[in-house]
Amino acid sequence: MVPIWSSAAIGGLPLDKWPGWSHKTADELFTRTKGSGAEVIKRKGGAGFAVGIAIRDVIEAIALDQRRVLPVSSVQSGCYDIRDVALSVPTVVGREGVVATHPIELWPKEVQNLRRSGLVLRQTLEQVLSRIGRKK
């Protein structure tokens, strides 16, 4: 997960301009958010409805050729100089599946963290593929 604080706003006011907002607040919120999925599953036994709604949105966008921007993961081919790894960036979804991606302006640290995330995913994928290759 890479928090994109640069595009977050409250009532149209950028977060970094919000009274009381600080890097410490951002770090605390990010830490809590990373664990929130596990907390929901622990308390409710699952998060199936949210997943179902997201799947419905993707199916509708494809079936109805809505060309709708959705926060879905897709294999990147140059967005933020990331290639051959699936990451979630604003993605136009239509009849053909992924129609386009729309990189948004990010703070330099966010771009760096996104690229690092892509690298970690790439390394993990290569490890998995090499293990599968050994088992054949």
Give the model's confidence band at 113: pLDDT under 50 very low, under 70 low, under 90 confident, else very high.
Answer: very high
**Percentage of residues in the chain having pLDDT higher than 70:** 96
Calculate the average pLDDT of the chain: 90
- According to the 3-state scheme, what is the secondary structure of 89-130? EEEEEECCEEEEECCCCCCHHHHHHHHHHHHHHHHHHHHHHH
User: What integer pLDDT is reported at residue 136 of this predicted model?
Assistant: 57
Nearest 10 degrees: Cα torsion 29, 110, 9, 88? -90
User: What integer pLDDT is reported at residue 23 of this predicted model?
Assistant: 87
Per residue in 14-64, pLDDT (tens digit) is: 988 999 899 899 899 888 888 777 777 777 776 677 788 999 999 999 999
Residue 75 has pLDDT above 70, yes or no: yes
For residues 25 and 41, give the distance between their C-alpha atoms in angstroms, rounded to a whole number. 25
